Amino acid sequence: MPTKLAEPTAQTAERLIDIDLTVNGKAEHFSIAPWVTLLDLLRERLDLTGTKKGCDHGQCGACTVLVDGKRVNSCLTLAVVRDGSEIQTIEGLSSGDTLHPMQQAFIDHDAFQCGYCTPGQICSAIGMLREGKADGRDAIRENMSGNLCRCGAYTNIADAIESVQGREDAR
């Protein structure tokens, strides 16, 4: 189905700001209003709906993406302030049919049920490994506590992360 994604309206055009982002390795240019969050930009303008909205207030972590390699709540991030950044979303983690080790670990350990918090959990877990904070079970739990899972997959998520935490390619 051909999809026309939301365009800015004529009236808002004068308030638009030009930004450039690299999203999952691809250069993208936007003219957007300054109040558009990175989360809404990804979901509504780029159709990258793998990044989820669970609260829009920085309270759940479902919207976690990697911005210049660091985990960030994209709902609390205005897209315009990230001009020039490199964004990695859940869609950009796997290459072709090959899953990122963290993604595979989540499947192997049944680290989700409904799957809604999952992209955020995975991005957050990768971000945590990069921060060098995944030192043992307690540290994993503590440093993943910004990512809520109402399905209660926490122990399986911790198992999944533990199973790949030492791997270079899991970062």
Partner 1 sequence: MATKLNDAPVGIGSSLSRVDGKLKVTGGARYAAEHPVADLLYGVVVSGAIAKGRVTKLHTEAAMAAPGVVEVVSHLNRPHIAWFDKAYQDQVAPPGSPFRAFYDAEIIYSGQPIALVVGRTFEDARHGASLVQVEYEIDEHETDFERSPEFKPKKTRDTFVEPKNRGDEAGAYAKAEHKVDVSYYLPTEHHNPMEMHATTVQWHGDGRITVYDKTQGSQNVQAYLVGVFGFAKKNVRVLNPYVGGGFGSGLRPQYQVYLATLAAKMLERSVRVVLTRQQMFSFTHRSECRHIIRLGANDDGALQSIYSKAVTPTSRFENYMEPIANWGGQAYRCDNATMDWALTAVDTYTPGDMRAPGAATGMTLFEMALDEMAYETGVDPLALRLTNYSDRDEMMDIPYTSKALREAYQEGAEAFGWSQREAAPRSMRDGSELVGWGMATGIWDAMFQKTTVRAKLSANGHLEVATAGSDIGTGTYTVMTQVAAGALGLPADQVSAVLGDSDLPPSPIEGGSWTAASTGAAVQIACDAVRVKLAKAAAKVDGNPLGGASVDDLRFEDGRMILAADPSKAVGYGEAMTAAGVSEIEATEAAAPGPLESIGEMLGVKKKAKNTHSAIYAEVKVDEELGVVRVTRIVCAVAAGRIVNPKTARSQILGGVVMGIGMALHEETLADHRIGRFMNHNFAEYHIPAHADVLDIDVIFVDEPDSEVSPLGIKGLGEIGIVGTAAAIGNAIFHATGKRVRSLPITIDKLLD
Choose from ligand FES, partner 1, none: what does 75 bind? Cβ within 5-8 Å by kind.
ligand FES
The pairing of strands 86-88 and 17-23 is parallel
149: contact with ligand FES by CB under 6 A: yes
Q: Which of 20, 25, 31, 47 binds partner 1 (CB under 8 A)?
A: 47
Q: Which of 21, 50, 72, 170 binds partner 1 (CB under 8 A)?
A: 50
11: contact with partner 1 by CB under 8 A: yes
**Site mask for partner 1 (CB under 8 A), range 61-100, x = bound:** -x--------------------------xxx-xx----x-
Judge contact between 149 and 117, C-beta under 8 A: yes
Choose from ligand FES, partner 1, none: what does 35 bind? Cβ within 5-8 Å by kind.
partner 1
Would you call 95 exposed, middle or buried from its count of C-beta atoms within 10 A (0-12, 13-18, 19+)?
exposed
145: contact with ligand FES by CB under 6 A: no
How many residues sit close enough to partner 1 to count as binding (CB under 8 A)? 71
Closest CA to 29 of 76, 95, 65, 79: 79
28: contact with partner 1 by CB under 8 A: no
Judge contact between 104 and 112, C-beta under 8 A: no
